[in-house]
Amino acid sequence: MQTETLTQQITALHQGTVSASFLAERALQRARSLESLNAFVALEPAHILAQAKAADERRKQGRALSLLDGVPIAIKDNYLTQDYPTTACSAALPLEPAGTDATIVANLRSAGVVIFGKTNMHEWAYGATNSTSRFGPTRNPHNLNHITGGSSGGSGAAVAAGIVAAALGSDTGGSVRIPAGACGIYGFKPSYGRASRHGVLPLSWSLDAPGPLAASLEDLGHLLPFFCGADPKDSTTRNAMPFDNTISAGRPKLINLTGAGLERSVEVDAAIRSALTRCDADVRETGLADMAGYFSAWEAILHCEASAYHAPLLAQNATGYSAVTRAHLEAGKLLAGVELLKAQQIRAGLMTQLAVLGDWDALVLPTLPVVAPRAGDEWQEFGGRRVTTQDAMTWFCWIANLAGLPCISIPIGMSPEGLPIGMMLMGRPNADEHLLGVAGWIDRNLKVDK
C-alpha cells in the first residue's frame, strides 16, 4: 500500500505544485471513501477547509509559519483540542470541545498545521486491539477483516490508508508502535520525560508517552521537534532538550533479543532475521532474564495508576465505561501498595539488566509476535505459547515503557497473506535522535536491498 509522505506534501507546498486547500479536500474525499475503516470519530469539513484556506493565504503572502504550514495531521481522541470534543472514545466523557489544546497540538497549530479531525482509539487507551470504542472498532486498511492494533488504531489506519500522512498517538505499552507495526507505517515513542503529556488524557502517568505515526521515517524527523523539549505544564520535561535533527548515526551495533518470554511466530522471526542480515549492521543475539516478572511489574503499575486516575469519574459515571474497561479499573483497586512498590523495584532491575548488556546502539525485537490478527480472534499461538490477543499485541512493546526508553517501529516486509511485519528498535534513555539515525540506517539499507 503506497501512501504519500508528509515530506512529499511539504515539498509540494513549498514548490507551489499543490495548495493546502487541495490537500485538505483530497484528505476529506479519501476519508469519506474509506468510512468502512472507522478511523475517524470527529471530522468537520468546513473547519478543516477554513484552516487550509488560511494557510494558503499565508503562503501567498510569503508568511508561511513553518515547513508544515497547511499540511493536514490527524489527532488521537485523547489529545485535548480546542475545536473538537475529546472523549477517549468513551461514553464516560461529554461530547463537548475542551476549548484548549494539548501542548503538542498547540505546537502544531502554531506551525500552521491543519488539525484534521479526531481518530478512533481503544477506550481510554486501555487496550491494544482497538476493538473497544464507543464508536466501534477500527479496521486494518490492508484487510478489513483484521485489526489495526491499538490503542492508536484510528491514527494508524488513517496514515496507512493515505487519508493523512501523519497522525498523533499515545503509548503506554506500545499504543503508537502496535498500530504502526500492524498497519505497515512508522511510529515513534520518545524517551519518558522527553515529550510533553500536557493535555493528553492519561492512562498511566509513569508509563505514558505521546508519539507520532507517519508514512515515512523522514516524516518523523519533521514531527518530533513539535513533541520534544521542556514544557512548564509538564514537570517531567523540565530537563528535556529540544529535538536535534542534525544528529545522525553510522553503522550501528544491534542486539537481537530472543529467548524465553520473547517468542514470536516463525514468519515474523524469519522476517526479522532476514532484515538484520540485509541491513549492514553489527548484530549479536542475547536474551533477557525474568521477562514474566518484568511484565507483571508493568501490568501492576499500569493498573494501579489507571485506577487512581479514574477513581473520581468511575464513582460518578461507572456506566459510561464499557464493561471490559470498567473491569480493568475495578481490578486495579485490588492491588495493594506493597505490590506497587515491589513492581517499582522490579522496574529498576530491568534498567540494571539492560545496562550490563554492553555496547549497543539499539535493541531489536519484532514490533508484534504475529501479523495483525483477525477481528474477533481472542487467542494467538506462536513459539509454543498460547496467549490472549491483547497480550500478544503488547508482547514486546511494554519493555520500552517500563524502562522509559525511546522506541521506534519500522515496516520491514509483508506476510504471504499481505499483512505488514514491523521491526522495533529500542534506544538508550534520551538518545532519541541517535535512535532515529539508527532506524534511518536500517531503513535505507533495506530499501536499497530491494
DSSP string for residues in 30-67: HHHHTGGG--EEE--HHHHHHHHHHHHHHHHTT--SST
The grid cell for 154 is 484510528
For CA atoms 369, 373, 379, 380, the dihedral sign is: negative
Provide the Cα torsion 152, 154, 160, 164; round to 10°.
-110
Side chain identity, residue 180: A
The pLDDT assigned to 1 comes to: 57
Question: pLDDT value at position 146?
Answer: 98
Going by C-beta distance under 8 Å and a sequence separation of 6 or more, which residues neighbour residue 100? 80, 82, 199
pLDDT of 133 reads 98
Q: How far apart are CA 85 and CA 94, in angstroms?
A: 8
- Partners of 374 in beta bridges: 146
Q: What is the DSSP letter of 190?
A: P
Distance CA 278, CA 382 (A): 25
Quick check: 171 and 177 in contact, CB under 8 A?
yes
Residue 293 CB neighbours (<10 A): 15
DSSP, collapsed to helix, strand or coil, labels residue 447 as helix
Closest alpha carbon to 114 in 171, 161, 66, 149: 66
Strand order in the sheet with 114-119: 40-42, 114-119, 72-76, 166-171, 209-214, 186-189, 407-414, 420-426, 362-366, 253-257, 282-286
Q: How many Å apart are CA 278 and CA 282, to the nearest integer? A: 11
- Stated as kind and residue range, the H or E segment containing 170 is strand 166-171
Provide block-wise average pLDDT over 10 residues at a time, the chain (450 residues). Answer: 88 98 98 98 98 98 98 98 95 84 98 98 98 98 98 98 98 98 98 98 97 98 98 97 91 97 98 97 96 97 97 95 96 94 96 92 98 98 97 98 98 97 97 98 86
Domain boundaries along the sequence of the chain: 1-450
- Reported CATH class of domain 1-450: alpha beta
C-alpha cell at 175: 499504543
pLDDT at 228: 98
According to the model, what pLDDT value does residue 95 have?
74
First to last CA, the chain: 16
H or E segment at 143?
A: strand 143-147
Q: What letter would DSSP give residue 97? A: B
24 touches 48 (CB < 8 A): yes
Residues with catalytic annotation?
A: 76, 151, 175
Which CB contacts under 8 angstroms, 24+ apart, belong to 416-419?
A: 416/267, 417/143, 417/371, 418/142, 418/143, 419/140, 419/142, 419/143, 419/146, 419/182, 419/371, 419/372
Q: Residue 450 has what pLDDT?
A: 57
Residue 72 main-chain phi, psi, to 5 deg: -80, 130
Radius of gyration of the chain (CA): 20
Residue-level pLDDT at 153 = 98
b/e sequence 1-16, b meaning 16+ C-beta within 10 Å: eebebbbbbbebbeee
User: How far apart, in whole angstroms, are the C-alpha atoms of residue 36 and residue 448?
Assistant: 35
Distance between CA atoms of residues 90 and 122, nearest Å: 9
The helix-helix angle for 323-332 and 291-316 (nearest 10°) equals 110
Q: Kindly list the distances between the CA atom of residue 140 and the CA atoms of 1, 117, 235, 371, 372, in Å, as whole numbers in the listed order.
A: 12, 19, 37, 11, 8
- Strand pairing class (209-214; 186-189): antiparallel
Virtual CA dihedral for 346, 211, 392, 293, nearest 10 degrees?
0
CA distances from 258 to 120, 276, 364 (A): 33, 13, 9
**C-alpha angle 422-423-425 in degrees, rounded to nearest 5:** 145
